Structure 1
């Protein structure tokens, strides 16, 4: 892909027409020049017209289809970070999340972090070995899961999602699955198995609450897709699971996100990142 070339952004589901340009980006006192930036030129979806964004900076795998240099590589080249790695901690409330370029914050997760080889060289995908919802087995074979922070949903094969919705007591003939808002905390946990650990989503994680003039509505974020065998894990998953993206070793780190971590923590140490390493911390505020 060349500079000044227009294309439909895959990161926004093809909802915006972007043009590749070079810009200077500043993070605190760190300035990065000539970063390739996909500037939004046209919004083609009505629901995105009022969204406020200038464009997209890529943080995908190194061998992305457009072969443009990554922001992470530019930061590493000027010595702003020591490692080609970044980690993400999402929060739904006003305390905000955290995005670290070049490091990991172990205060933002608890239990064991598992590292699994990326299943693709162009997108952040990994292999999982099963899914359960409470006592129900949704699937027990290996499948590919794609991490998509740009989505508010959990997309999966239609047969998998139908099993989940049937277990939740939904009418499978309807497009969306609604549950009684007073029962959300009593809903069974969804468990995704990766290596030797279980990644857990509670009912309040996979059910989205919408408030309107007639009262709250609680809707499942699971969406079934016909003729696909992979899962696409959006914000409901990423707000529950701390994720690490390691370009150096082409792997993904996954751990249960901590709900009681203090934002003021300064302890950034892990088996990957030595204490003296350089990294950049950015706080995220994401709202449904």
Structure 2
């Protein structure tokens, strides 16, 4: 599920052992802001989706998205002006490090490749398989269509360095063709899917499933912490949780039975403040917890209900009520400053960032229609996940949520 993906650039990666565990590793990254053109493109895409929602297929597909060591590892993530987080993965022997999106809404691993001669490819760092001694050809060709672009590539094998873990004979996609807004404007170099293997291309093994198969972790879990402060580290933790990054108990929510491809959970109610919108009365709503989506996404009918219950004069957006999801009996609140986008005439503002002088505003919620049986569903992207520490447990097929600790 790719909607708003305006990312930045490759930085020098230095891996060092961190203090949480003798066998865990940290990859430091830095935050870089979006330029004016990227901000305007972001706002344009959101606004367009609210009048003509993105429609996805009604079946799961690729476009919605050593010695045994009982270790836990973590990757620091980079926050791009509060619109996306990326981290680094090494591919090849010796490893070539590339910035990638860690995406719980897809299952394949794609990297920009020297094989691609399209302009979007040439703007970014790229993997060169001729420089890897472990590269092996496999050969299937795959085409993936996203909401805002498409890629074509070849599935092959190489060694992957992931969160301090080394995975041999890992399947991945070498991108050979790119087109669309996502890849023109984005400055990421790859996409590492963390959804279930049923969502992966035929004959491929997702990266985290290779971790499981190799028996590298005592607990087959990973967790995301998203910082709102550019001076504070965001991270992906693999094999454990970082108790310093959340407070209270973790609320464990099972994946919806029969939907083991996305991290799909039940939403019992959706409210504005204390007022229920009545969207989940007949049957529970569905929510896909998706680290590859920057904002929120909602069925168009649900989005219309949200707008109907908000004051159309957004000059008073600070007085808007909290946006509330009720999940397994607990309330998860998003403040109005986070779910409203304000814009001045130059398109200078981002979600969660507001100026005193703005001429218009919109909700940071995209329209998305997914037919039965997969949909309709909400997508809980980074706006939601910035407030809550999220844990993904493959041993028990469940998602854990806890209140994130911010400076």
2:298 is the alignment partner of 1:162: no
Q: Cα distance, 1:211 vs. partner?
A: 6.3
Partner residue, 1:101: 238
1:165–1:16 distance in 2 versus 1, CA, 3 Å: same
2:366 to 200, 223, 235: 223
* Mean CA deviation greater in 250-259 or 126-135: 250-259
Larger strand fraction of residues: 1
Q: How does 1:127-166 map to 2 (within 5 A)?
A: 127-138=266-277, 139-141=279-281, 142-166=284-308
Partner residue, 1:202: 335
Partner residue, 2:352: none
Preserved CA contact (<8 Å) 2:253 2:265 = yes
Partner residue, 2:3: none
Preserved CA contact (<8 Å) 1:39 1:54 = no
Partner residue, 2:210: 74
Q: Cα distance, 1:88 vs. partner?
A: 0.8
- Relative contact order higher in (CA < 8 Å, ≥ 6 apart): 1
2:220 is the alignment partner of 1:84: yes
Normalised by the size of structure 1, how large is the TM-score?
0.75
Preserved CA contact (<8 Å) 1:206 1:222 = yes
Preserved CA contact (<8 Å) 2:290 2:382 = yes
Distance 2:146 2:239 in 1: 22
Normalised by the size of structure 2, how large is the TM-score?
0.55
Q: Cα distance, 1:158 vs. partner?
A: 2.2
Partner residue, 2:194: 59
1:78–1:159 distance in 2 versus 1, CA, 3 Å: closer
Distance 1:78 1:197 in 2: 36
Counterpart secondary structure, 1:188: coil
Counterpart secondary structure, 1:63: helix
Cα RMSD over matched residues?
A: 2.9
Counterpart secondary structure, 1:155: strand
1:118–1:28 distance in 2 versus 1, CA, 3 Å: closer
Counterpart secondary structure, 2:155: strand
Preserved CA contact (<8 Å) 1:37 1:57 = no
Return 5+ residue gaps in structure 2 as ranges. 1-107, 109-136, 348-356
Preserved CA contact (<8 Å) 2:221 2:393 = yes
Return 5+ residue gaps in structure 1 as ranges. 171-177, 261-288
2:323 is the alignment partner of 1:190: yes
Counterpart secondary structure, 1:4: strand
Q: Cα distance, 1:130 vs. partner?
A: 0.6
Partner residue, 2:402: 255
1:203–1:257 distance in 2 versus 1, CA, 3 Å: same
* Mean CA deviation greater in 61-70 or 116-125: 61-70
Distance 2:163 2:378 in 1: 36
Counterpart secondary structure, 2:261: coil
2:390 to 243, 251, 264: 243
1:240–1:212 distance in 2 versus 1, CA, 3 Å: farther
1:55–1:18 distance in 2 versus 1, CA, 3 Å: farther
- Number of positions where the alignment pairs a residue of Structure 1 with one of Structure 2: 251
1:164–1:50 distance in 2 versus 1, CA, 3 Å: closer
